[in-house]
Amino acid sequence: MSLAQRVTRIQPSPSTAAAQRVRELRTGGVRIVDLTVGEPDFDTPEHVKTAAVAAIRRGDTKYTPVNGVPELRQAIAAKLARRHGLAIPEADIAVGGGAKQVIFLALMATLDRGDEVIVPAPHWVSYPDMVLANDGTPVVVPCPAGRGFKLTAAALRAAVTPRTRWLVLNSPGNPTGASYTPAELRELAGVLSDHPHVRVLTDEIYDEIRYEPGPPTTLTQVAPELADRVLLTNGVSKTYAMTGWRIGWGAGAPDVVAAINKLQSQISSCPSSISQAAAVAALTGPQDFVEETVAAYRARRDRTVKLIDEVPLLSCTPPDGGFYLFASCARAFGHRTPGGTTIRTDADFARYLLEAEQVAVIHGEAYGSPGYFRVSFATSDDVLAEACTRIARACAALTPEPS
């Protein structure tokens, strides 16, 4: 029996595949220094876990409303008002099993065959395949380092067609950590105002993990006239070290939220009741955990950028947010390994690091940007120091290919 085309035209997530390869090597006794993990290495705050246990003990283990319990939607609305000055009604908030599920359902609800979704690259690995799985066509727009890895108004204008249904904006972005400034968002909004058929999906899952002064800016703040066309997605996974709890949300775009809720009613009925109780505690409880972890990430970022930049064949731009470095390995192309293999692509380079020094990273092509590799610094200082030592040693062992 054949599988549906929606399955055969997509690939497994490269980050998930990399993590699985690390697990397999470790099972075989290989000591891997893993820099692939896209989740905090900190534990979920204690008061959040306590809230989940309390929910279990009082019997909050039944179905909830399809779009989440009122307490959680109220907490989300309050955060959006506090952080962005947005007044989004509870009815225009959909809670799902992680921001990833919400994004997928938004695309499922709005795409027909041939509809286009603009995806600036470097991009999170899942965006193009999510579009393909829902019969759409991803339009990947390269955003080079010289532009801060960000989409410009000119590039957006050139990419829009009558079939464009969505623009995806991820800020701070994965894998680069690049954040859009208010001025940059206003320029993009100017283009979008000329194309009322284009919606915007803002993925703000790293919005609390920022290293720039002042609060983050979201598109609806600078362009309130676009409010009904913007679906803001976020969740508790990265900010509160709750990746396994699987709670995310979409806010705004009332018709899309209603469609997401309809789909979720047929797919999973509702998000986990216990996880929702934990998310309420995370959003409404003490926020010192966020401040402490962001300070730790900042110190790791600064230290790791310095170590990577000291390697002659590598370079990287300090990220504005998130917990990744997107480092260039292009200068290593055309160099030979001690085993006689020539490095020609970022995939070759990532493979070489794994085989020669047992350092696991994810190659840039997976993010739509050849010539780079992603490093997660959501791990301990000792692991990062050891990884950078091994990466430097691997690069020092490369020799230029004879001309």
**What CATH number is attached to the domain comprising 91?**
3.40.640.10
Same domain, 54 and 197: yes
Q: What is the pLDDT of residue 30?
A: 82
Same domain, 351 and 381: yes
Q: What is the pLDDT of residue 304?
A: 98
For the whole model, what pTM was predicted? 0.96
DSSP letter at 12 equals -
Q: How far apart are CA 300 and CA 277, in angstroms?
A: 32
Other CB atoms within 10 Å distance of the CB of residue 242 = 25
Same domain, 157 and 212: yes
What DSSP element (H or E) covers 373?
Answer: strand 372-376
Q: Is residue 246 part of a domain?
A: yes
Angle between helices 288-309 and 381-396 (to 10 degrees): 20
Q: In the chain, how many domains are there?
A: 2
Residues 6 or more apart whose Cβ sits within 8 Å of residue 322: 172, 173, 174, 177, 206, 209, 238
Q: Is residue 372 part of a domain?
A: yes
Domain end point (choices 266, 284, 302): 284
Structural domain harbouring 293: 5-43+289-396
Residue 376: CATH number of its domain: 3.90.1150.10
Q: What is the pLDDT of residue 23?
A: 83
The predicted-structure confidence for 391-402, as pLDDT tens digits, reads as follows 999 999 999 988
Question: Phi, psi at residue 375, to the nearest 5°?
Answer: -115, 130
Same domain, 227 and 346: no
Q: Report whether 279 contacts 242 (CB < 8 A).
A: yes
What DSSP element (H or E) covers 277?
Answer: helix 273-284
Q: How far apart are CA 5 and CA 203, in angstroms?
A: 27
Same domain, 229 and 153: yes
Q: Is residue 402 part of a domain?
A: no
CA end-to-end span of the chain, whole Å?
A: 52
Same domain, 161 and 13: no
Q: What is the pLDDT of residue 302?
A: 98
Kindly list the averaged pLDDT for each block of 10 residues, start to end, along the chain of length 403: 89 79 84 92 98 98 98 98 96 98 98 97 97 98 97 98 98 97 97 98 97 89 97 98 98 98 97 98 98 98 98 96 98 97 97 95 96 98 97 98 81
Same domain, 181 and 242: yes
Q: What is the pLDDT of residue 48?
A: 98
Q: What is the pLDDT of residue 248?
A: 98
Q: What is the pLDDT of residue 1?
A: 72
